[in-house]
Amino acid sequence: MAAAADLGVEVVVGSERRPALAHLMEGRWLRVPLRNPSAAARAVAAFARERPLDAVVGVDDGSTLAAAAVAAALGLPRNPPDAVAASHDKEVSRRCFAAAGLLTPRFRSWPAHADAEEVATTRYYPVVVKPVDLSGSRGVIRADSPDDLAAAFARVAALVRSPDVCPPGTSPQRILVEDFIPGTEVAVEGLVQGGRLDVLAIFDKPDALEGPFFEETIYVTPTRLHEDAQGLIRETATAATAALGLREGPIHAEIRLNDRGAWVLEVAARSIGGLCARTLRFGAGVPLEDLILRHAAALPIESLERERAATGVMMLPIRRAGRLVEVRGQDDARAVPGIEGLTVIIPRGAEIVPLPEGDRYLGFMFARGETPAEVEAALREAHERLEVVVE
């Protein structure tokens, strides 16, 4: 919304729930059933007959399918709805990656009602259990033995049957059991224009993501990987994006590197989640959201070159469940050289839940420096100064 205001672009917000300031947004807010893309397309098309629209942007995982259907109904440049649907379904995307000759884990999917003991008869370990359509490492658990797998499957099955994941009248999503892929993991941020992917940034993830849960913490860019590895990451992200059929808009990819090559874990038809995009500036300080809106509305894009400074973000983890009393030491954390911002997004008194059941982080902390190592060190020092009080 801030980027749209800076560009002078008029925005209509489509959401399932009425915004708190809806009374101030007459004509600029529309109720859209995001879980039903065809109904979303009909609602927006009816609105557009009175107030024509030039672009549609889905800003998170919950809206990209609806956005693709709306754009198709309005005849706007878009990702094909089938391609966006494939990016949402980890089983379908695995098949697309394998068909394109990309490295992807062996896998098998199971219905949520499958017997956990039967699932645990797989003969290869370690494996990772995950829902086919959840993001942010939610419901992702590593298992190293049949007993681990049976317990992990039962836990993920309970999650995908829960009301917030599986609303009344819908079926629980399937559950994937796939090879655990060891190696170094990176995140890739990109912009697809007419089927051509421009890689905007490669983020290092310096904390090892080996399980049993896969809580992401620190992202730092530019990457410290060798140029050859960076080239392989770009090639793999480009091939994976094409394999899904994505043609327009932002993508966020997760890739692991090991001695066998680059393994595609995920390509999502959206930009990086949460507040993490604040780490990225292009050209003369242009934010990522500005690029996304310019591309969607066919406005000029002056530069896709990321600024030279090293930047990073730490997604503040939730370590234990309970009621959040307070986060102490925030001023001390902000005083660490290189720290540019700290935002706690969960209010005091709210119930918090850690991964794998939880669906959000405590907040976000940002740093900037001359080198990626300086940025990482600043984030770690600042995090040590925080004390999260939970009852």
Which string of DSSP letters, residue by residue, matches 181-224? --SEEEEEEEEEETTEEEEEEEEE--S---SSB----EEEES--
Do 202 and 288 lie in a common domain? yes
Residue-range definition of the domain harbouring residue 340: 310-391
DSSP state of 36: -
Tokens of 173: 């999503």
| Residue matched to tokens 């949402």 | 88
- Verify that 304 and 314 share a domain, yes or no: no
276 backbone dihedrals φ, ψ, rounded to 5°? -65, -25
Judgement on whether residues 188 and 303 belong to the same structural domain of the protein: yes
Answering whether pTM is above 0.85, one says yes
Q: Is residue 169 part of a domain?
A: yes
Which CATH number goes with the domain that contains 373?
3.30.470.20
Residues 154 and 271 in one domain: no
The answer to the question of residue 124 being in a domain is yes
Domain holding 123: CATH number? Answer: 3.30.1490.20
**CA atoms of 344 and 324, how far apart (whole Å):** 11
Half-sphere exposure of 194 (CA within 13 A, CB side): 1
DSSP H or E stretch at residue 384: helix 372-384
Measured between alpha carbons, how far is 219 from 376 in angstroms, rounded to an integer? 8
Spatial distance between the Cα atoms of 119 and 136, rounded to a whole number of angstroms: 24
* pLDDT in 10s for each residue of the chain, 391 residues: 889 999 999 999 999 888 776 666 776 889 999 999 999 999 999 999 999 999 999 988 889 999 999 999 999 988 999 999 999 999 999 999 999 999 999 999 999 999 999 999 877 899 999 999 999 899 999 999 999 999 999 999 999 999 989 988 889 999 999 999 999 999 999 999 999 999 999 999 999 999 999 998 999 999 999 999 999 999 999 999 999 999 999 999 999 999 999 999 999 999 998 899 999 999 989 999 999 999 999 999 999 999 999 999 999 999 999 999 999 999 999 999 999 999 999 999 999 999 999 999 999 999 999 999 999 999 999 999 999 999 9
| Judgement on whether residues 139 and 194 belong to the same structural domain of the protein | no
Strand partners, 253: 188, 267
Longest dimension (CA), the chain: 59
